[in-house]
Amino acid sequence: MSLGLAGIATLLALAAWQLDPGPPAWGLLALLIVMHVGALSLPLQLEIRRQAILITAGEIPFLFALFYLPPLWVIVARAAAGLLVHGFRWLTRRAKLLKAVFNVANSSVGVAIAVLATDALGIGPIGQVSTWLTLVLAVVIYLLVTQLCLGVIIGITEGNHNVDDLLQGIVSSLLIGLINAIIGLVSLLSVGVNRWAVVPLAVLLFLIFAAYRGYSNLVRQRRSLADLNEFTQSVAQAVQSNRLVDIMTHRLREMLNAEAATVWVPAEKRFPELKLTAYMDVEGLLDTTPIPEQLCQTVLSTGEPLLVTPKHGDEEHRRLLASEKVKDAIIVPLKSGGVTYGCLAVAVRLGGDLARFGRDDLTLLETLAAHAGVAVENSRLVDRLRFDAYHDALTELPNRRRTMNVLEESIALTVPNEIVAIMMFDVDSMREINDSIGHAAGDQLIVEVGRRLREAAPPGAHVGRIDGDEFAMVLRLPDASAAVELAGGIRQALQRPCTLGTLNVDIDSAVGIAVHPDSGDVADTLLQRADLATQTAKNVSSGIQLYNVGLESGSVRRLGLASDLRRAFDTGELHVHYQPKISLGGRKLVGVECLARWRHPTHGDVPPEDFIPVAEHTGLLGRLTEFVLRDGLSRLREWTTDKTQLGIAVNLSPRTLADPDFPALVADLLAEHEVEPSRLTLEITEDGMVNAGGRTPQTLGQLRDTGIRLAVDDFGKGYSSLSYLRNLPAQEIKIDKSFVQGMATDEGDLAIVRAVVDLARRFHMDVVAEGVESEMTLSLLTEMGCDIAQGFYFSRPLSADRFAAWMAAQASGGNPHPKLRAV
């Protein structure tokens, strides 16, 4: 289009030459060219969208040229001045060549059309009103033509054009052009009276221009203060409405008249990278930026602002901007307490190629960044507080509060053919890991469990950490059976070994499930019942338990037993029963196992699996252990004769081994009842022995050094390998009854029992088989070399009186195969 306008201007110039081909006064022509150059070099700039409208005082020399020069030379004077001004800007890279050509051609076409119209109307003496009107009309024609051409080129480059903006530009140009025309007419009249009037007129115009520049600066400063105040208020309101970045970037872009405004904060811990940009004519924010990342990194590392334009900044910075086709930019740091944590940036000053960011813009953006920096940091602090309020600090999973909110929201929405399930995962052996290899390793394990739960959870499931070693998952499923099946798959995913330093630790968990609406319709109730199901799951082989009403009654019953157990010690409700241990080599009675029993006045016989956990959680376990030891040792002394040297076995909890005073207590009891230490066997479960071996070796060592025998109870039920036997500080192994009872019919159980017996004999350890209930089982155990057996085949656990009678009956009957079924 620029070349087309240039062609039109040439044709119009030829037409003007035909009107008056005579030469001008060369001195006057040169003077008017100089006047045009001066006017064009000091433009006033109006901006429409991405383009600039340059309003100059060129109408004043234009009127002089119309009045004093032939038509062709009016066009030549204006074109020559345009070539000088715009050519210089192109040479100094302040303007693009195409735009310089367009500006020259556009003004030449406007001048040519105005000249032809003026010649058609005729110009008389300067004192005639008709001459004034003709000259003013020429200015109007010139402005209309140039503005219309500008509007067309803007519409082409933008793809569309806002008519209101175009009309506003035309009106503004006409207003200023008419003012210039009036000044030009007054100047012409003055020069017509006295040619030396040009001197005071030039001084007057200079003063008017200087006053305008001063006024513009004042207006700009006042506008900057007003914008700063408005920006501060907007930022304060934005923090409250959670729209800080959106409002802040858009306001920055508007205030600095930029094409884009960016806020960038690099990733930090749980907070992801924040990089959002407000672009002109784009609603909302985009996660891109026209600013090269290297410039942002420079500001972040140095904490110093950057102003990069063709006249400012390092050559490398200008090259980076040019590579992104960005003409100028300002990047300033965001600081909090002297620490730079991000940056604000604006790019591409609107107003055309001549418009550039300057030092004043840099100062303004730094001031805005100071306010924005505090607001952004406060916003991040608020976000951090909100996050911390609803998330676990270690795993960054939602915490109990957030999980309860999710559960409440889930059960509030009923979906046909769906249930809301809450699964609780209780990680086993966390206390032992913390005590044996440190809390740092325990924390690492908890983080790993949280990660595995997130990975194993189906889409849409909520995973949270409820307590120290408890996690919860809330999700929708078709039915309760689907919840049980899913829990099994997730539990299996958790069981993969976890590496903690140089150790590989097996992870296991108990899973309790409660579903809405079957298990309850209140979030607190569902969580409590899922927890109850979890406690029950610890005692079932699958490790998974779906809540049912029966669990509730048992839990309430155990809760009531807690207070009753304290009274039971004083009221004589607690008793010790004894189960015989038979040597398989000679089928002789060699000892008894002491088992606590509780006959409650209301509930009757309370199973040990109910009151032993109650004793552990109420701090009565030590007293219960002492009670069993004291009763067993006193009975052992009664039953000891010259022909009978029995031993007793007492079960211990791993918690008892954590008591440093326990070895001294046992030693005192042995001395009090005058029983040799070798006749006392303390039985500890396999898991308890393994964990205690790492946690309290001093306690175990003291017991062993006293001469007391240590036995691994329920071996095979835990998770230690057979090779661990050689590291256990024990002299005896009791094979779990689940393998013994099945060995007569299950080849797998038989192989396990045989392997344990063979390996134990290699380590010179005695083997006890518990749960013997048939002659076939007894024969198999005898054949493979098992040392001792106990079980219902010989006798159930008996009270002290009944056991004494049983023992007397065996002694008097002389039966080489003692067998008595107690009822």
Q: Concatenate the DSSP letters of all residues of 774-821 into one string.
A: SHHHHHHHHHHT--EEESTTT---B-HHHHHHHHHHHHHHT-SS----
CA pair distance 249, 407, nearest whole angstrom: 37
- CB count in 10 Å sphere of residue 643: 6
Q: What is the pLDDT of residue 718?
A: 55
C-alpha 487/C-alpha 623 separation (Å) is 39
CA dihedral over 726, 727, 728, 730, signed as positive or negative: positive
Q: For residue 331, give the 3-state DSSP assignment.
A: strand
CB 316 within 8 A of CB 289: no
Q: What is the pLDDT of residue 67?
A: 82
User: For residues 317 and 307, what is the distance between their CA atoms, to the nearest angstrom?
Assistant: 9
Q: Are 58 and 34 in contact (CB under 8 A)?
A: no
Q: Which two tokens stand for residue 441?
A: 């390793």
Residues 6+ apart with CB under 8 A from 759: 722, 725
Tokens describing residue 679: 């006749």
Token duo for residue 606: 């309370």
Residue type for position 3: L
Contact 656, 622 (CB under 8 A): yes
Q: Which residues pair with 412 in a beta bridge?
A: none
Q: What is the mean pLDDT of the chain?
A: 81
Degrees, nearest 5: CA angle 316-322-327: 110
pLDDT at position 439 is 84
Look at 629 and 245; give whichever has higher pLDDT. 629
Query: Strand, coil or helix: what is 511?
Result: strand
Q: Which helix (H) or strand (E) holds 473?
A: strand 470-477
Output the pLDDT for position 446: 92
Q: Return d(Cα 678, Cα 676) in angstroms, integer.
A: 5
**pLDDT above 70 as % of the chain:** 79
pLDDT at position 352 = 64
Q: What tokens appear for 237 in the block?
A: 């309101």
What does DSSP assign to residue 340? E
Q: CA 100 → CA 75, 93, 142, distances in Å?
A: 17, 11, 18
User: Which parts of 653-743 are beta strand (E)?
Assistant: 680-685, 709-715, 732-735
Distances (CA, A) of 189 to 67, 111, 192, 198, 819: 11, 22, 5, 10, 144
Q: Give the pLDDT score at 770.
A: 92
> 513-534 pLDDT, tens per residue?
999 988 888 999 999 999 989 9
Q: Is a pLDDT exceeding 50 seen at residue 811? A: yes
**Least confident stretch, 35-49, 396-410, 445-459:** 35-49
**Tally of CA atoms within 13 A in the half-sphere of 633 that contains its CB:** 24
Q: How confident is the model at residue 671 (pLDDT cuts 50, 70, 90)?
A: very high
Mean pLDDT, to the nearest integer, of 617-637? 90
Q: Which residues contact 199 (CB under 8 A, 6 or more apart)?
A: none
For residue 489, give the nearest of 521, 455, 515 by alpha carbon. 455
> Is the model's pLDDT at 330 over the cut of 70?
yes
Quote the CA–CA distance of 71 and 22 in Å, as a whole number.
10
Instruction: Give the count of alpha carbons within 13 A of 557, CB side only.
Output: 16
How much is the pTM?
0.45
pLDDT tier for residue 672 given thresholds of 50, 70 and 90: very high
Element (H, E) at 133: helix 129-158
Q: Which of 470, 456, 467 is nearest to 427 (CA)?
A: 470
Give the pLDDT confidence score for residue 723 in this predicted structure: 52
* Mean pLDDT score, 788-792: 94
Q: Mean pLDDT check: name the lowest of 93-97, 218-222, 324-328, 769-773.
A: 218-222
> What pLDDT score does 227 carry?
62
Q: Is the pLDDT of residue 110 over 50?
A: yes
Give me the sign of the Cα torsion angle 799, 805, 811, 814: negative
Using one digit for the tens of pLDDT, what is the confidence trace for 242-271?
566 777 788 888 888 889 999 888 887 666
The yes-or-no verdict on residue 231 having pLDDT over 70 is no
Nearest of 156, 145, 98, 143 to residue 353 by alpha carbon: 98
Q: Is the pLDDT of residue 654 over 90?
A: no
The answer to whether 490 and 457 are in contact (CB under 8 A) is yes
Amino acid letter, residue 261: A
Q: How far is CA 389 from CA 384, 506, 624, in A?
A: 8, 32, 43
Do the Cβ atoms of 682 and 703 come closer than 8 Å?
Answer: yes
Q: Is 590 helix (H, G, I), strand (E, B) or coil?
A: strand
Q: What is the pLDDT of residue 260?
A: 92
pLDDT at residue number 821: 45
pLDDT over 90 for what percent of the chain? 28
pLDDT digits (tens, 9 = 90+) for 67-82: 888 888 888 888 888 8
Q: 422 and 517 in contact (C-beta within 8 Å)? A: no
* DSSP 3-state of 721: coil
Locate the DSSP E strands across 210-273.
Answer: 258-265
- From the number of C-beta atoms within 10 Å of its C-beta (0-12, 13-18, 19+), residue 538 rates as middle
Tokens 């960005």 locate to: 326
**Is the pLDDT at 647 greater than 90, yes or no?**
yes
Q: Is the pLDDT of residue 238 over 60?
A: no
696 contacts: CB under 8 Å, gap ≥ 6: 657, 658
Is residue 396 pLDDT above 90, yes or no? no
791 HSE (CA, 13 A, CB side): 22
Residue 612 to residues 214, 734, 739, 770, Cα–Cα distance (Å): 92, 20, 24, 20
In the predicted model, is pLDDT for residue 196 greater than 90?
A: no
pLDDT tens-digit series, residues 341-357: 888 899 988 866 667 88
Cα–Cα distance, 55 to 395 (Å, whole number): 64
Helix (H/G/I), strand (E/B), else coil: 651: strand
Question: Is the distance from CB of 748 to CB of 719 less than 8 angstroms?
Answer: no
DSSP assignment of 504-516, as one string?
EE---EEEEEEEE
Distance from C-alpha of 269 to C-alpha of 25, rounded to nearest angstrom: 78
Average pLDDT rounded to a whole number, residues 473-498: 92
Q: Residues 192-204: what's their mean pLDDT?
A: 70
Strands of 235-292, DSSP E: 258-265, 274-279
CA dihedral 229, 232, 233, 237 (to 10 degrees): 170
